[in-house]
């Protein structure tokens, strides 16, 4: 009986973990334009006034033809749980594309969060990442 339950447990583990191998969307931040070398480096700390290049990668392709990029800063002095929106842009994209690249420049030091929303669902980001500017 133990062997049957162990085999059943292994089967369930493989089924629920192995078959749901969807590649999730992610964002890469870099101090230089995204290429193979910069994709190998993980950068989360940048300088004030420096260009911060971001690359949004969606392996399955974008679901919709528009997204919103939003940058929030975290500061304990604000009323919205410490977050304040400092930049927000609506971006037109091609649904069949898998990659979108651009850059931002931030002039003040602090902790920031970059988030990407589809325009039809602006409540929940499909990608977010936190980074720091010194």
The whole model's pTM is what?
Answer: 0.77
Domains of the chain: 22-133 (2.60.40.1930)
pLDDT tier for residue 109 given thresholds of 50, 70 and 90: very high
For residue 1, what are the CA distances in angstroms to 4, 7, 28? 5, 10, 49
pLDDT in tens, 50-106: 999 999 999 989 989 999 999 999 876 666 667 889 999 999 999 889 999 999 999
């Amino acid at each position: 009986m133990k062997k049957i339950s162990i085999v059943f447990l292994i089967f369930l583990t493989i089924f629920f973990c192995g078959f749901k191998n969807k590649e999730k969307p992610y964002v890469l931040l870099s101090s230089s334009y995204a290429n193979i070398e910069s994709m190998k480096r993980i950068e989360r700390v940048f300088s004030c006034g420096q260009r911060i290049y971001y690359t949004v990668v969606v392996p399955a392709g974008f679901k919709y033809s528009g997204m919103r990029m939003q940058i929030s800063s975290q500061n304990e002095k604000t009323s919205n749980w410490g977050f304040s929106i400092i930049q927000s842009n609506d971006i037109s994209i091609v649904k069949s594309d898998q990659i979108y690249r651009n850059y931002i420049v931030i002039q003040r030091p602090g902790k920031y969060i970059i988030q990407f929303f589809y325009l039809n669902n602006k409540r929940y980001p499909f990608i977010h990442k936190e980074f720091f500017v010194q």
